[in-house]
Structure 1
């Protein structure tokens, strides 16, 4: 088995999906609030990857932060998830060439003026219908680690797809990023697999798909006792309780600060509440 040594992924990552023309302003706001981890993709219909890079380069140039303080991850997005009129590669090229072109653009967008630019993580945004195509693309991505991409991962994959890829490839996924929702059982089986295989798990869509969890008594108890909003309490319980990273996409400056501050809650208080929440039972 071959793995890539990595540093710890932050618990809270700012997600830039759907921000489009607001990206630069929101990234400045997020940096000011204290965010140091950011998620994007080479998928122009949903992400402004270049605008994230411009904003972060500005912050580095103005000495608001350093490149070493940042965690920046992006994704290679297959053709089936792209707007065919706005592609980061030539759709007629072979898959390997599409990957190469996309990665070159991503690293350039996110270079932040560094002499040896890199991204902290590079993910395959979604699997192909044919497992052979998925593995071909994965193996092409793998040639960029750890130089251009310090860490490699996958997104929007089932337990079966992740375990198959892990079994069949030399370079193993180090990250899985999936939607956090009841429809997939909150990925319990896959999360346990990731824990056993030392794979970092990231979740997105926490608020979009789980309004009912905001009403759970442990969330309300933590919100009340810690003086934080229920949304921040839910993020904290998931991130610290499950030991996973959570993508947050709020556009509110106040919520940005509150969500980050919630991570400072005393572990003793958190443990007491987690013990009551059967949702976290293995």
Structure 2
């Protein structure tokens, strides 16, 4: 995983060109999410253009996306999975859509965009991602937007495939300044 990863949220119609430009400028990691506002489809367009132009090879890249539960999706847009399907199937459909969007056979990481409404649902989603790791579709797993240390510790304890990515947006209001255990 590179030290710096290019994030693609909210770039809208400029996404493909901005991904291409980021790769041309030297970025070797890209992070997105399988949801309409991230325009993962256009991330794939920019990536495929950079590959075709010889700017990068697939082996040089770290590609990461997220499974976004219905709570994080814009329901006014087409969803990347069947809303009526069980969570595990939604995850599988989301991963399949991401692979199609990126135009690749496997992703380096897929992250839960956040814990789901219940621990049972979070674990069901994580188990579905673990199955994708077993199938060779994903290299590593993680979670983002998890600001409760106990919740993260619980997920780590449950994981059969280690939680190797924690991606949080840090700002004063989310507790980044918790007291340390050493006082």
Give unpaired runs (5+ residues) of structure 2. none
3-state SS in 2 of match to 1:24: helix
2:111–2:143 contact (8 Å) kept in structure 1: yes
Match of residue 115, structure 2, among 127, 133, 136: 127
Structure 2 equivalent of residue 71 of structure 1: 62
Structure 1 equivalent of residue 90 of structure 2: 98
Distance 1:91 1:126 in 2: 17
Structure 1 equivalent of residue 164 of structure 2: 174
Structure 2 equivalent of residue 48 of structure 1: 39
**Hey, which bits of structure 1, 4+ residues long, moved more than 3 A?**
187-190
> Which has the larger helix fraction?
1
Using CA pairs under 8 Å that are at least 6 residues apart, name the structure with larger relative contact order, 1 or 2.
1
3-state SS in 1 of match to 2:24: helix
The alpha carbon displacement at 1:61 in A equals: 1.3
Distance 1:102 1:138 in 2: 13
Q: How many residues align?
A: 180
Q: 1:150 to 1:184 in 2, by over 3 A?
A: same
The alpha carbon displacement at 1:111 in A equals: 2.4
Deviation track 1:129-183 (CA, whole Å, cap 9, x = no partner) reads 2111100110111111151111100011121111011112322211100011122
1:15–1:38 contact (8 Å) kept in structure 2: yes
Deviation track 1:183-220 (CA, whole Å, cap 9, x = no partner) reads 23427689x9xxxxxxxxxxxxxxxxxxxxxxxxxxxx
The alpha carbon displacement at 1:85 in A equals: 2.8
Match of residue 107, structure 1, among 99, 109, 124: 99
Match of residue 32, structure 1, among 24, 42, 48: 24
3-state SS in 2 of match to 1:176: strand
Give unpaired runs (5+ residues) of structure 1. 1-8, 193-280
3-state SS in 2 of match to 1:12: coil
Coordinate RMSD, CA, aligned: 2.1
TM-score (norm 2): 0.91
